[in-house]
């Protein structure tokens, strides 16, 4: 079986600036693969190129063995890729349950028909209930999304993405603005999610990254400088140089 995601020699330019320069990585089934690096390393640009929000200048993106390089975001979702964003995006006027059910309906291609087909309604509802239960949001199912605490909104965004039943889930800084307790909770959820779908994670909390990742790819100045297990990466001298003065939780 093909890997959920293979990126080969990806590049992206913004005018004269090469923001991403020959980045390659591969994610295996059931794996949490973290993409880390100092601010401005090019991580988010890689994320946007892979997820269809930017068109790469060169290289290749393979999703389950299918060449999806340059595909727009909606085609990638249909092909099995879902992502979250640095800024939480939920439907604040809808309930928690309705948010997730809409994701499930979108996967079934039925949102424009709203709730006409009883079978699809039942499928969407069952899928939403399963995901809310898995992520610990079932008790908030009837609450408006706007009324959730910040941490629960982030979890809701992940729930909406999971409702698409992706082969690959891309999480962009899911613990931004969270307390240590909330961060630890998100880390536990990500490990649980990886049992169902592979995860590509961009995250600045190195303690969490080291604790939950199977593989880590490290970028700086648009390039990959190291890739491997958390232990191997944390001991790599190039990584130590890149993070010197910026990150101390890696015990560098």
Would you kindly state where each structural domain of the chain is located, as residue ranges? 1-80+167-252, 90-165
Biggest CA–CA distance in the chain, Å, is 59
Average pLDDT in the 8-18 region? 96
| Contacts of range 87-92, beta carbons closer than 8 Å, 24 or more positions apart | 88/150, 88/153, 88/154, 88/157, 89/157, 90/145, 90/153, 90/156, 90/157, 90/160, 91/145, 92/144, 92/145, 92/146
Q: From residue 46, how far is each of 56, 97, 153, 225, 246 by CA, in Å?
A: 9, 32, 25, 15, 21
Long-range contacts of 66-70 (CB under 8 A, 24+ apart): none
Residue 56 has pLDDT above 90, yes or no: yes
Q: What pairs with residue 6 in β-bridges?
A: 26, 62
**CA dist., res. 185 & res. 67, Å (int):** 35
What's residue 6's pLDDT? 98
pLDDT tens-place string over residues 178-230: 889 999 999 999 999 999 999 999 998 989 999 999 999 999 999 999 999 99
Distance CA 186, CA 180 (A): 10
Q: Give dist(CA 39, CA 138) in Å, integer.
A: 36
Residue 244 DSSP SS3: coil
Closest CA to 70 of 47, 51, 42, 46: 51
Question: pTM of the prediction?
Answer: 0.88
Neighbours of 233 (CB within 10 A): 23
Predicted confidence at residue 91, as pLDDT, reads 87
Assess whether pLDDT exceeds 80 at residue 231: yes
CATH of 1-80+167-252, one of 1.10.630.10, 3.40.50.1220, 3.30.60.50, 3.40.50.300: 3.40.50.300
Average pLDDT, the chain: 88
85 pLDDT tier (thresholds 50, 70, 90): confident
Percent of the chain with pLDDT over 70: 89
Residues in the chain: 252
Question: What pLDDT, on the 0 to 100 scale, is given for residue 109?
Answer: 55
Mean pLDDT score, 58-74? 96
- CA–CA distance, 51 with 72 (Å, rounded to integer): 8
Please give the backbone phi and psi of residue 235, each rounded to the nearest 5 degrees, phi first. Answer: -95, -5
| pLDDT tens, residue by residue, 115-164 | 445 345 667 788 889 999 999 999 999 999 999 998 999 999 999 999 99
pLDDT at 213: 97
């Amino acid at each position: 079986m093909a890997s959920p995601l293979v990126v080969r020699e990806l590049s992206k330019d913004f005018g004269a600036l090469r923001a991403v320069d020959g980045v390659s990585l591969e994610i295996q089934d059931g794996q949490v693969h973290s993409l880390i690096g100092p601010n401005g390393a090019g991580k988010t640009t890689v994320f946007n190129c892979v997820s269809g929000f930017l068109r790469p200048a060169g290289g290749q993106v393979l999703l389950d063995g299918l060449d999806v390089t340059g595909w727009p975001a909606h085609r990638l979702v249909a092909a099995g890729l879902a992502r979250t964003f640095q800024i939480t995006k939920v439907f604040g006027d809808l309930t928690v349950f309705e948010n997730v059910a809409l994701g499930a309906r979108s996967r079934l291609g039925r949102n424009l028909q709203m709730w006409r087909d009883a079978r699809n309604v039942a499928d969407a509802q069952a899928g939403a209930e399963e995901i809310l239960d898995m992520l610990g949001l079932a008790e908030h199912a009837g609450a408006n999304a706007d009324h959730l605490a910040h941490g629960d909104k982030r979890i809701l965004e992940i729930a909406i993405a999971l409702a698409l039943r992706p082969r690959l889930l891309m999480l962009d800084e899911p613990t931004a603005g969270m307390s240590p307790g909330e961060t630890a909770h998100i880390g536990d959820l990500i490990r649980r999610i990886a049992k169902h779908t592979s995860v590509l994670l961009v995250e600045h909390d190195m303690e969490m990254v080291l604790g939950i990742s199977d593989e880590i790819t490290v970028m700086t100045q648009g390039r990959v400088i190291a890739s491997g297990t958390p232990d191997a990466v944390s001991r790599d001298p190039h990584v130590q140089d890149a993070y010197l003065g910026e990150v101390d939780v890696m015990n560098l």
